[in-house]
Chain A
Amino acid sequence: MMVRRWTRTSKLFTGGTGVVALLLASVPLVFSPDIVQKTTTLLILVLLAAMWNALAGYGGLLSVGQQAFIGLGAYGTVFFAGFGMPPYIAMVVALVVAGSLSIPISLFALRLRAAQFAIGMWVIAEVASIAVRLDQDLGAGTGISLSQLYQYDPNYRQAYTFWLALAFTAVFLAALFFLLRSPLGASLQAIRDDEDAARSLGVRVTARKRLLFVLAGFGCAAAGVLIVANTLFIEPSSVFSVQWSAYMIFMVLVGGLGTFEGPILGAILLFAIQTTFTQGGPWYLVGLGATAALFALLLPRGLWGTIEERLGLRLLPVGYQVVEKK
């Protein structure tokens, strides 16, 4: 018997992601701004799915309030750009400030269990949303646009935003990938599989969960920054909407909770559904909700988890495999 991480497929695929990233980077040079904007949306979905999965899939923390960080990242950008900061600098500052808020929040949120954590985070998002609504300078309830971005030519603006989205997504996915592969990652996967057993083996469960919570806080803030850069206009009722949590839950559950590749697959699926049913509408949401519930009940490992189990396929190696020695 021997333990291995890499297989031929996973070596090929991990090398392949570099090529995919390069190909993606050239999207704004080749395609029309419309496609660039759509691809930006896809990258935001991938980022959101990966971050929600980091929380729920590895930390066992089911949050229905990650829109708090999305909204704070988006409104933070408008806020700092309003001080005369160049808009792209304001985005980075907003990301850092909104993401950092996850540290004080984690001090008490991580003491809550299951539903208390889920709804506690939701209430935090509601409080953040009300705080924005009370601020006339941020457009109160009617929304505000990131007018400072209008100074750029639309084609360039779209391209810059896309590259920023690609950079953020790559950085956060890579951070999660290396985190899961590090010795810390082994303890995270142990928590995912059995929290009590992990604790009894000496894993510092709360410290590990805090790491994931802060990572997800920064990641969702980054998504919020990208949302305002991509759409140029935000309002509290949409950017702080619990609908973001619904999307994240759908992507992760369908893709595969607690797998690295699954949420990416889920994001691509959601993106495909959204582009097909451009009208949106209630039936589409009925379908999303029902699918998420059915996956939770009937196929809890999601599409990718099931594929992985059946075929023994590993594309991005974050775990170990035991194989017969030849």
Chain B
Amino acid sequence: MSVANAILQGIFLGAFYAVLACGLSLMFGVMRIINLAHGDVAVLGAYLVLVIVQGTGLSPLLAFVIALPAMIALGYVLQLTVLQRALKAGILTPLLATFGLSIVIQNLLLLKFSPDVHSLGASAGALTTESWNLFGSITISALGLVVLAVAGVVFTALHLFLSRTRPGWRMRATAEDPDAAELIGIDSRHVYARATAIAVAIAGLGGLFLAIRSVFDPVSGPTQLIFAFEAVVIGGMGSLWGTLLGGLALGVAQTLGAQLNPEYAALSGHLLFLAVLILRFGGVRLVRFGARA
């Protein structure tokens, strides 16, 4: 039973990772770049919500709605100032530039908010305290359900956006072939900026969940980035629904590892990630099945 409970908790945790990874996956799918500051952008979102909650006394969920336009604007600015230029300069430049940006965001947050740990768990009220027991050993928390439901809504909405709307078609066309898309009148800069804005907004949502379900500080970003990237890779890079599954798999791996020893949580997630990489990219071919042409 405790294993069943661990799997369930892993799914709740994994839904959070999927939300965190969603924007990373979208940006990779559309622009073929990985934003190494993605985790820090999520943490920045958490601080933004924290400031609004402290200033107005609103609940964190409402505060996130207020923070949302700022996150979208941040996405546009990020694209137009840093990423657009980096995109044109080869495959390493976006990584280098966003790694630099990641250090800048972390240390600006340190300057503004000190290294203290914060949490929005207390201000979220019943959302974090409510839970139900099934058969004595299985715990279903309200927060877990909400995160899972929101993850489902976010991925479905993004899927519908990409498959049913004109801006979504333009985004897919640009992802497929930006030059050909330009030929039929699609402005790739505009499409990229929109994709980054969506990615940053969803990263902010991930930051909100991080802040409610546990604690965060100015240097929490890199860990979130690693988990998000692991979810993207486990699910298969470039696949949106894959990222949702990858997030869930990562969450389950972590909670199952923690079942053995609490210190194995992150480790088992890392090992799943490395195992997926080795399996997918072949590692060493120990057995050769005949000669290959």
Contacts and interface: CB of A to CB of B under 8 A. Distances in A.
Contacts, number: 124
A30 interface: no
Interface string A73-98: 00000000000000000000000000
Nearest to B222: A242
A154 B106 CA distance: 38
B127 interface: no
A266 to B, nearest CB: 13
Contacts of B34: 114-115, 118-119
Interface residues of B, number: 46
Contacts of B96: 62, 249, 253, 292-293, 296
Contacts of B95: 62, 114-115, 118
Contacts of A291: 100
A1 interface: no
Interface string B223-244: 0011001100100010000000
A257 B97 CA distance: 14
A123 B230 contact: yes
B interface: dominant SS = helix
Interface residues on A, range: 35 or more
A56 B96 CA distance: 11
B220 to A, nearest CB: 13
Given A108-B282, A118-B95, A126-B270, 20 more contacts: A62-B92, A107-B284, A112-B281, A115-B33, A116-B277, A119-B225, A119-B229, A122-B226, A123-B230, A126-B226, A127-B274, A130-B267, A242-B222, A282-B111, A283-B107, A289-B103, A292-B100, A293-B96, A296-B89, A300-B93
Interface of B: 28, 33-34, 36, 82, 85-86, 89, 91-93, 95-104, 106-108, 110-111, 222, 225-226, 229-230, 233, 237, 263, 266-267, 270-271, 273-274, 277-278, 281-284
19 contacts: A107-B283, A108-B278, A112-B277, A113-B91, A114-B34, A114-B92, A120-B277, A123-B270, A127-B267, A127-B271, A130-B263, A283-B107, A289-B101, A289-B104, A291-B100, A292-B99, A293-B97, A293-B99, A297-B89
